[in-house]
Chain A
């Protein structure tokens, strides 16, 4: 029992944090500041991160294998914790009426994300996914004075609910065929069903699953919700969706698909059906995301389309992992996550500072160089990292993905990836040009809160550090996983 408590401690402590925030919200006076609760939330997340590190390299399986935590999963959890920390720091200055509930929901969403990537059981997966999604729905709609926020929450709930239904329907076919919800046992049973003439059910189940996963990852053609939600949500929540939700969603998809089709008897389905359909999703996301981003004027909307493009790149890495199951492919995906996390957190933090209450279209950036050279410089670095220019972390991330895709001889995919990367340069550089070479009508100084300063500094240092010395991370990671 004691051992179990220790094994689950990174999750337990979040529960404790949720309870503390809830009690604090009740005790605090209606008009008093909620920064105390913010500190509690930050400490909880820090504590969860510390406990993750303390667990070391141990491989943990609990409850008949339905909960697993190995070094790779733990390293992903570390990313989720780091991303949530950034979000909490940014939230310090976010204008939200129900601030206490806001912190609570962020912690609950992190709890959902962390248990999502640890679970190897269909029921467990679904409940965690719903915890993550439900918290995110509410977070998106928390700025009730802005109509777009409510609209975004509404759209998110509808699309999210529909995608959950698809996912659940797909899962029910797999359960029906295999008679178990445990992902470690399911694959062998599915292979038996495949030989016995139930292959059509397998295909149907996979297609339904793919629709659900596609919605959660915002991959084209299931991306319709993303631009509206990214635009309407409070900037901090957009950051959360872009970083934490996205990383957790990808690991969820990767683990679910790779474990469902793990057994030798299902390799033909994996190669004839699963990989090609992911290929199509990935190509469409890269092309459509990047091309549509060209036309966007609203910054958050542009970043939403760019994140759809990034989802395409990450899918390339996922396909490589499914094909070769090698450690190098895993670490390329991880590296991309790190680069994307730092660059997105930095970009959204900068937009959060500059736009303040205004709706952030490209004009708010005009002449930023004169008003605040430091911010203009760091935003340029983040955008360059998202675009994948050398000496930034984003370049190494894209490069390692390209190498592992080449290793699996997916030449069409690498071609598309290179082409769309070039397309993406247009809109990233257009924003940078706006900051440096456009005159500004508004000469107000940009004031920045220290908490946002921390986020921007950390992201900036990380983006440079991992861009110049990628081996530090790659080697540590392979030691850690291996």
Chain B
């Protein structure tokens, strides 16, 4: 039981707890905050895995950007607060069974295969090398991603704006 394991346990409990709260919260605002919690804990887990760059990006983009954007979205629109139905209907049982089955299958497969040999102490990829790969080998996907964001932006505006007559 070393410090790393302790940190991992705490972070993963926070991550899963955030996700569960997200699903169960009645108010949209609570959901957004629960989600931000999950994002933060995931960033911590990345840090433990020595992926510092990924951790920083996770905090900047997800925990920072996305959560703030969601909170803005909630404040600018009027979410309808309906009491969620608590009773379990039959299709929910079916989904539960399917999801549990899927989880069990994946877990069995993961535990049945030989564990990879622990990676040696590699110097983690620096921001410089990430940048050079991103703009050399992956230049096209990078540019396409910018078009993707443009399409997402325009699409959101088109779908969200009111009919102007």
* A interface residue numbers (CB < 8 A to B): 8, 15, 18, 30, 62-64, 66-67, 97-98, 101, 104-105, 108, 111-112, 115, 119, 121, 123-124, 127-128, 130-131, 134-135, 137-138, 141-142, 144-145, 153, 196-198, 200-201, 203-204
Contact = CB atoms under 8 A, between A and B. Distances in A.
A197 B116 CA distance: 11
Contact of B147 (A97, A108, A142, A153): A108
A281 to B, nearest CB: 19
A141 B148 CA distance: 18
A196 B117 CA distance: 13
Contacts of A119: 140
Across the A-B interface, the 10 shortest Cβ-Cβ residue pairs = A138-B155, A127-B141, A124-B141, A200-B109, A108-B151, A131-B148, A127-B144, A101-B158, A98-B158, A204-B109
Contact of A138 (B106, B112, B151): B151
Given A105-B154, A200-B109, 9 more contacts: A63-B139, A64-B137, A66-B140, A101-B158, A108-B150, A108-B151, A112-B144, A131-B144, A204-B109
A14 B154 CA distance: 17
Given A97-B163, A200-B109, A204-B106, A63 B151 contact: no
Interface of B: 105-106, 109, 112-114, 136-141, 144-145, 147-148, 150-152, 154-155, 157-159, 163-164
B147 A138 contact: no
Contacts of B105: 204
B158 A142 contact: yes
Given A97-B163, A98-B158, A153-B159, A135 B151 contact: yes
Given A101-B158, A104-B154, A204-B109, A15 B163 contact: no
B147 A18 contact: yes
B154 A66 contact: no
Nearest to B160: A144
A108 B139 CA distance: 18
A134 B153 CA distance: 11
A180 to B, nearest CB: 11
Nearest to A139: B155
Given A115-B144, A127-B145, A134-B152, A144 B159 contact: yes
Given A63-B139, A138-B158, A141-B159, A201 B109 contact: yes
Contact of B148 (A134, A145, A200): A134
8 contacts: A8-B140, A30-B164, A66-B140, A101-B155, A111-B144, A124-B141, A130-B148, A131-B148
Contact of A115 (B114, B137, B140): B140
Contacts of B145: 127
Contacts of A30: 164
Contacts of A196: 114
Contacts of A112: 144
A111 B138 contact: no
Given A101-B154, A200-B112, A138 B140 contact: no
Which of A15, A18, A130, A138 has the most chain B CB within a 10 Å cutoff? A138
A190 to B, nearest CB: 14
Contacts of A121: 138, 141
Nearest to A104: B154
B113 A201 contact: yes
A63 B140 CA distance: 9
A8 B148 CA distance: 18
A64 B133 CA distance: 11
A138 B163 CA distance: 16
Given A66-B137, A127-B141, A200 B113 contact: yes
A124 B159 CA distance: 27
A203 B105 CA distance: 12
Contacts of B157: 101
A128 B144 contact: yes
Contacts of B151: 105, 108, 131, 134-135, 138
B141 A197 contact: no
Nearest to B154: A101
B96 to A, nearest CB: 17
